[in-house]
Amino acid sequence: MPKNNPIPQPTILISENWDDYELLDSGAGAKLERFGNYTFVRPEPQAMWQPTFSEKVWNGAHAHFQGSDDEDTGSKWEFRKKVPEQWQMHYKDISFWAEATPFRHMGIFPEHGCQWDWMSQQIKNAARPIRVLNLFAYTGLSTLALAQAGAQVTHVDASKKIISWARDNQVLSKLEERPIRWIIDDALKFTQREARRGSKYDALVIDPPKFGRGPKGEIWKLHESLPILLNTCKDILSDKPLFVVLTTYAVKASALSLHYLLEELTSRYDGEIIVGEMALREKSAGRLLSTAAFGRWQARYVSK
């Protein structure tokens, strides 16, 4: 690669449009967050600094997740105050169920709010029918934001339980009439099948875990599987794609790696790539807590 190839400049995206979620404080390897009316302490290895709020404030949280950041079986919630099994939350016009799951996740990755806003705007600006493939699509918040903006969405996740949660969120958001296909499948296998069938998509949203399993036990290992997946994605992009959003969590894949992966995927189209980190801003001291790396490709069309 030529030495004068431009150096990608990382961008920090912050999701600041929440009412129902707040990162209250962070530090000492943990974060204190509010989901609706309930507060939680969860492990956060990135928070290597000192917390701002007092121990008393932290101890007053409704529940504390005991254990490491890894999803090992020995970890569990310690509830200090009553928390319902599920409760409703909202992001703009999207409504959804939150839950303190045994895997420490709550059914929402709030740092994605900025991506939902950006993608919705792209769909609206396109002013043409847009088909989106959402892989590893979890509880469906990006799917619902896309559908609300007018896209036709294919939502793929390996877990039947998670898809059922996503469908409950669709009902809660009153988006039952929107064109969403709910697919329980392995993300790679489904994409390969779509490529063989000649199915095309105008936009891709890919939020893979570090390690996962398809419904038939198919193994997903980010470093091995992502290049194969993205290579297959070349065959399903339409002639006039709109965007690709790729995010990774807790893995040794920097924003720069995502840049070069997206460059390969979109080399035959005219567009631009931005990469960087997604972060949440603390209420306590305003520090930015990085939670994920992202890469985003956006088409550059000459407007007629």
Give the interface with ligand SAM as residue ranges (CB under 6 A): 109, 136, 138, 156-159, 162, 186-187, 207, 209, 212-214, 218, 220, 249
Residue in the shown chain whose Cβ atom is closest to ligand SAM: 212
Provide, rounded to whole angstroms, the least separation between the CB of residue 112 and ligand SAM: 9
Closest CB to ligand SAM among residues 51, 140: 140
Min CB(270)–ligand SAM separation in Å: 30
Cβ proximity to ligand SAM: between 12 and 272 the closer is 12
Q: Cβ of residue 225: shortest distance to ligand SAM, in angstroms?
A: 8
Q: Which of 182, 183, 179 is nearest to 193 (CA)?
A: 183
Q: How far is the CB of 15 from ligand SAM (least distance, A)?
A: 14
The DSSP bridge pattern shows strands 288-299 and 271-281 to be: antiparallel
Q: Which is nearer to ligand SAM, 174 or 213 (CB)?
A: 213
Coil/strand/helix, residue 300: coil
- The DSSP line for 199-219 is --BSEEEE---SEEE-TT--E
Question: Smaller CB distance to ligand SAM: residue 214 or 295?
Answer: 214
The nearer residue to ligand SAM, 122 or 134, going by C-beta atoms, is 134
Task: State which residue, 193 or 213, has the beta carbon closest to ligand SAM.
Answer: 213
Q: Which is nearer to ligand SAM, 249 or 269 (CB)?
A: 249
Range 10-34 burial, b when 16+ CB lie within 10 A, else e: eeebebeebebbbbbbbbeebbbbb
Q: How far apart are CA 253 and CA 208, in angstroms?
A: 12
CA–CA distance, 113 with 95 (Å, rounded to integer): 13
d(CA 266, CA 253): 19
Whether the Cβ atoms of residue 150 and residue 113 lie closer than 8 Å to each other: no
Q: How far is the CB of 189 from ligand SAM (least distance, A)?
A: 8
Which of 192, 287, 186, 208 lies closest to 253, judged by CA? 208
Q: Is 1 strand, coil or helix?
A: coil
DSSP state of 107: S
- Residue 26, CB-side half-sphere exposure with 13 Å CA sphere: 24
The one-character DSSP state at 241 is -
Tell me how far, at minimum, the Cβ of 212 lies from ligand SAM, in Å: 2
Considering the complex, what minimum distance in angstroms separates the CB of residue 193 from ligand SAM? 13
Contact 189, 222 (CB under 8 A): no
- CB of 291 vs ligand SAM, minimal distance in Å: 9
Residue placing its CB nearer to ligand SAM in the complex, 177 or 224: 224
